């Protein structure tokens, strides 16, 4: 399946950084879902670089839906959405096309595609492609919102600076929606930006940790083997460029806990069951328990840095010193957040549609 995720709702991503279009096909989405143009545009804008801490390559992202939507609603047949690449400067990349950029996929693409890959700007591996993911995710998350399911992501950690944890999920998720640099604490956000700017001034880059909450999910979603809720979500998340770690609930901190600390006490009140703590991140045995799903993703520092690096010409296998030029982000974590939100929407929409049937997301009916 390769570039497709999902069975009940299948999302296929295509395109290259310097190709004519990038885009996505969403197959299996219920008919009757209103396409919310303003919401989609807001999501694309959220991901778009802006300010000093992002690349100077800015795309208008003027998406078009060329199939599967009729009179403003999904038809139930495959939705194809495309975004033109307009701001291409291939000349920047001719040098890089030969000397592999460390931390990038240049060398592995050569191993896999035997030299036929479109190397311009990273080709299919470019962060540019994530605009198509965000587009697909926006279409799906607008349907999830109608079912009461909300997804929000903040930068929980960035090189020494921590953001506060989620407190009131509804409000916190709402507050993140309008932010270009999503932190729950304004001060933390300011501190993080300063760290990024310092790295940028030094020709360097930083990564960080994103924390995502999903609320409103019904209990009972996920499979014991092999399609656990964690399995499916991590499958999607690890395909996002730059993500090197995924943990749920207390995650790696579990290694320092006793069972009596890690187990979440279960409580019933007014006919509802919940847990007092949420160390399991809303998932037990691979299945949602009705608590907020908490997932954290480690984003590596942007590999494109301006400092000289040692590398190899992948055609001649000569050792070289590489100096990357062009336009690059000193941090992508605030933009990766939009991609993480989108991937969560893609995965969750598929799992719900598989669980409750293909009409489930057609909430308008």
Identify residues 12-51 at the interface with a second copy (CB under 8 A).
12-16, 19-23, 25, 27-28, 31-32
The correct pick among 39, 50, 92, 102 for binding a second copy (CB under 8 A) is 102
Distance of CA 247 to the CA centre of its chain: 15
User: How many residues of this chain interact with a second copy, rule: CB under 8 A?
Assistant: 157
Report the residue count for the chain. 365
User: Is 2 near a second copy (CB under 8 A)?
Assistant: yes
What's the closest the beta carbon of residue 171 comes to a second copy, in angstroms? 26
Nearer to a second copy, 141 or 289 (CB): 289
Rounded CA-CA distance 356/345 in Å is 16
Please, what is the angle between helix 37-47 and helix 333-356, to 10°? 140
φ/ψ of 34, rounded to 5, equals: -70, 135
The correct pick among 51, 194, 238, 315 for binding a second copy (CB under 8 A) is 238
The correct pick among 39, 41, 50, 75 for binding a second copy (CB under 8 A) is 75
Cβ(145)–Cβ(138) under 8 Å? no
SS3 364: coil
User: Is 67 near a second copy (CB under 8 A)?
Assistant: yes
The correct pick among 40, 96, 129, 348 for binding a second copy (CB under 8 A) is 129
User: Is 216 near a second copy (CB under 8 A)?
Assistant: no
Cβ(283)–Cβ(294) under 8 Å? no
Residue with tokens 């999830």: 144
Q: Both ends of the chain: CA-CA distance in Å?
A: 32
Nearest alpha-carbon partner for 229 in 305, 164, 295: 295
In which element (H, E) is residue 67 found?
strand 64-67
The correct pick among 55, 278, 311, 338 for binding a second copy (CB under 8 A) is 311
61-65 contacts at long range (C-beta below 8 A, 24 or more positions apart):
61/131, 61/135, 63/135, 65/35
User: Is 91 near a second copy (CB under 8 A)?
Assistant: no
The correct pick among 40, 53, 96, 100 for binding a second copy (CB under 8 A) is 100
Rounded CA-CA distance 247/237 in Å is 11
Q: For a second copy, which stretch binds (CB under 8 A), given 45-53, 115-123, 143-151, 182-190?
A: 115-123
Q: For a second copy, which stretch binds (CB under 8 A), given 36-44, 53-61, 118-126, 180-188?
A: 118-126
The correct pick among 245, 323, 326, 363 for binding a second copy (CB under 8 A) is 245
Task: Name the DSSP class of 91.
Answer: G
What's the closest the beta carbon of residue 152 comes to a second copy, in angstroms? 19
User: Is 165 near a second copy (CB under 8 A)?
Assistant: no
Q: Which residues between 138 and 157 bind a second copy (CB under 8 A)?
A: 157
One character per residue 267-296, x = contact with a second copy (rule: CB under 8 A): xx--x-x-xx--xxx-xxxxxxxx------
Q: Which residues between 190 and 209 bind a second copy (CB under 8 A)?
A: 199, 204-209
User: Is 230 near a second copy (CB under 8 A)?
Assistant: yes
In which element (H, E) is residue 235 found?
helix 229-237
């Amino acid at each position: 399946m390769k570039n497709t995720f999902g069975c009940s709702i299948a999302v296929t991503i295509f395109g290259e950084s310097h190709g004519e279009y990038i885009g996505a096909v969403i197959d299996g989405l219920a008919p009757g879902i209103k396409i919310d143009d303003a919401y989609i545009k807001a999501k694309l804008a959220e991901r778009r670089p802006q300010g000093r801490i992002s690349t100077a390559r800015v795309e208008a992202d003027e998406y078009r839906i060329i199939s599967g939507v009729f009179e403003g609603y999904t038809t139930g047949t495959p939705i194809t959405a495309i975004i033109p690449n307009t701001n291409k400067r291939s000349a920047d990349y001719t040098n890089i096309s030969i000397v592999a950029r460390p931390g990038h996929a240049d060398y592995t693409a050569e191993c896999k595609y035997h030299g036929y890959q479109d190397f311009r700007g990273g080709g299919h591996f470019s962060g540019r492609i994530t605009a198509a993911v965000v587009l697909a995710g926006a279409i799906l998350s607008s349907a999830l919102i109608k079912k009461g399911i909300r997804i929000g992501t903040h930068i929980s950690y960035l090189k020494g600076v921590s953001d506060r944890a989620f407190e009131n999920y509804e409000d916190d998720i709402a507050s993140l929606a309008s932010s270009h640099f999503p932190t729950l604490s304004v001060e933390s956000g300011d501190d993080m930006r300063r760290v990024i700017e310092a790295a940028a001034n030094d020709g360097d880059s930083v990564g960080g940790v994103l924390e995502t909450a999903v609320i409103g999910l019904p209990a009972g979603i996920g499979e014991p083997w092999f399609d656990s809720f964690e399995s499916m979500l991590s499958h999607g998340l690890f395909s996002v460029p730059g993500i090197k770690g995924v943990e749920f609930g207390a995650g790696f901190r579990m290694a320092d806990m006793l069972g009596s600390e890690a187990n979440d006490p279960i409580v019933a009140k007014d006919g509802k069951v919940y847990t007092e703590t949420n160390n399991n991140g809303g998932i037990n045995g691979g299945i949602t328990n009705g608590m907020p799903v908490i997932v954290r993703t480690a984003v590596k520092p942007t590999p494109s840095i301006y400092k000289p690096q040692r590398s190899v010409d992948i055609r001649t296998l000569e050792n070289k010193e590489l100096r990357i030029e062009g336009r690059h982000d000193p941090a992508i974590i605030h933009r990766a957040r939009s991609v993480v939100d989108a991937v969560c929407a893609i995965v969750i929409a598929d799992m719900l549609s598989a669980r409750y049937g293909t009409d489930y997301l057609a909430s308008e009916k």
